[in-house]
Structure 1
Amino acid sequence: MEGMDGMIAGNIARIQDEIAEAAHKAGRDPGDIQLMAVTKTHPFEDVLAAYQAGIRLFGENRVQEAVGKYTLPLPADMKLHMIGHLQSNKVKQIVPFVQCVESIDKVATAEELNKRAQVSGKSIDIMFEVNTSGEVSKNGFSEYEELSDALGAVLELAALRVTGLMTIGPLGGDEGQIRNAFILLRSMSDRLSTEYPQVELRELSMGMSGDFPIAVAEGATIVRVGTAIFGRRE
């Protein structure tokens, strides 16, 4: 197991170097970018190895996997984000585990999350997922007007705090298409910030194993990396 732990630690160090390099090229402070370890399909031993290597932000795609893998209470400095599609009927299960849901794509889901968070006596950060590539297989808001209306509605929900936007770059897209998707997310965030100056939209969660340097160049504050940290899992 020591070999696996060493591989994970080495991968994390390499990725952090690549993030720093991309940030410096873009005139950004690398300290403004968080590396999230996406633990989908990987065991809790790998989570602990990443934690020992300095990672404090983790992401899970599926509620059942998150609930089965992570043990409460989490270490005080460990943060778990839900980054996959969240169905309203799964909200109750995930609330005790997460500090943030990055994949809000419907006001109804946010309303259910708010209700369950209030029952649990906690507040939860959320991000709106935006479909910046137009791929029909992806969830997320695709029109700015829908996104703006959703933000206006969610501001009424006392247990939720909107912190930013999230997107997934086009799968199999070329560098130009990927960059355009990230530019679109940033421009939507800027536009929302003008329209809703009372909201601090500080987070842009974008970029994964194959495209995070482009995301950093275009303003990502969170990059979500799984395969490049943990390797492929059968």
Structure 2
Amino acid sequence: MSVLGSGEIAARVAAVRERVGRACARVGRDPAEVRLIAASKTFGPEAVVEALAAGVTDFGENRVQEALGKQAAVAELAAVRGLSAPTWHLVGHLQSNKARAAVGAFAILHGIDSVRLLDVLDRWAPGRPVRVLLEVNVAGEPTKFGLAPSELPAAVARARGLVGVELVGLMTVAPRVADPEEVRPVFRRLAALARDHGLRELSMGMTDDFEVAIEEGASMVRVGRAIFGGRR
């Protein structure tokens, strides 16, 4: 059984969708423009399937190895309940030695943070372009992965020159703060960078700040704790 139980996960999903809707309404956006990605790191297949049954279709994992076994178990449980398999996103840092496994396991890779990693992904592209988002360390935090904004033009140019990579957008992880208003400039800056480079997808915002991220243009929000409860 999941940590919270099916009813509670379903209620949490509904509450998150309500918050998404309110944030969209404040800035005149259509909630259909925002993809809810349930960040399922450390939560078992049963919890994922309960969220899937509640209407969540996209799930984000941080580690390739953890995801591989979970994906198979989720597919089996989902089939038993007559549910379609989810779309999987890699939202954590990708090591180059895990790139080959990642391109076959995830629909979109969010945390691509170097030209070298783009080249590795191009080498392992499985007969079709790998969809990627470039991670930008907008706040310049030394403990975070991501390209500096000044490095972005070269990375965008490289990505667009590779036949095995499809660059679809940008991603960031904002600093943890008590008041989400403090990170609004981070999201606003990422949105501006995306516009500068003609990129549509913006993966930004998590449980504590996704409403501000939506107000600033997020097309994907990565929400874990608000759906599944505290990490195990």
**TM-score normalized by the length of structure 2:** 0.91
Q: SS at 1:83's partner residue?
A: strand
The Cα of 1:134 is off from its aligned counterpart by 1.5
Partner of 1:54: 55
**TM-score normalized by the length of structure 1:** 0.90
1:9 has 2:10 as partner: yes
Partner of 2:171: 166
1:147 has 2:148 as partner: no
The Cα RMSD (Å) is 1.8
Instruction: Report Cα offsets for 1:45-100 as digits up to 9, x if no partner.
Output: 11111111111111000111111211189586621111111011111122221011
Alpha-carbon distance between aligned partners in 1 of 2:94 and 2:121, rounded to the nearest angstrom = 10
Partner of 2:30: 29
Alpha-carbon distance between aligned partners in 2 of 1:153 and 1:173, rounded to the nearest angstrom = 37
Confirm or deny: 8 A CA contact 1:72 1:97 kept in the other structure: no
The Cα of 1:5 is off from its aligned counterpart by 1.1
1:135 has 2:158 as partner: no
The Cα of 1:135 is off from its aligned counterpart by 0.9
- The amino acid that maps onto 2:165 is L
1:124 has 2:130 as partner: yes
Pair 72,115 (structure 1): closer, same or farther in 2 beyond 3 Å: farther
Partner of 2:212: 214
- The amino acid that maps onto 2:39 is V
Alpha-carbon distance between aligned partners in 2 of 1:150 and 1:49, rounded to the nearest angstrom = 38
Q: Pairwise mapping of residues 45-194 of structure 1 onto structure 2 (< 5 A)?
A: 45-71=46-72, 78-117=86-125, 120-144=126-150, 146-172=151-177, 174-193=179-198
Moved segments of 4+, more than 4 Å: 72-77
Q: Which runs of 5+ in 2 are unaligned?
A: 76-82
Alpha-carbon distance between aligned partners in 2 of 1:116 and 1:225, rounded to the nearest angstrom = 29
- The amino acid that maps onto 2:218 is A
Partner of 1:197: none
Alpha-carbon distance between aligned partners in 1 of 2:6 and 2:160, rounded to the nearest angstrom = 42
The Cα of 1:173 is off from its aligned counterpart by 5.5
Confirm or deny: 8 A CA contact 1:103 1:166 kept in the other structure: yes
Q: Which runs of 5+ in 1 are unaligned?
A: 194-200
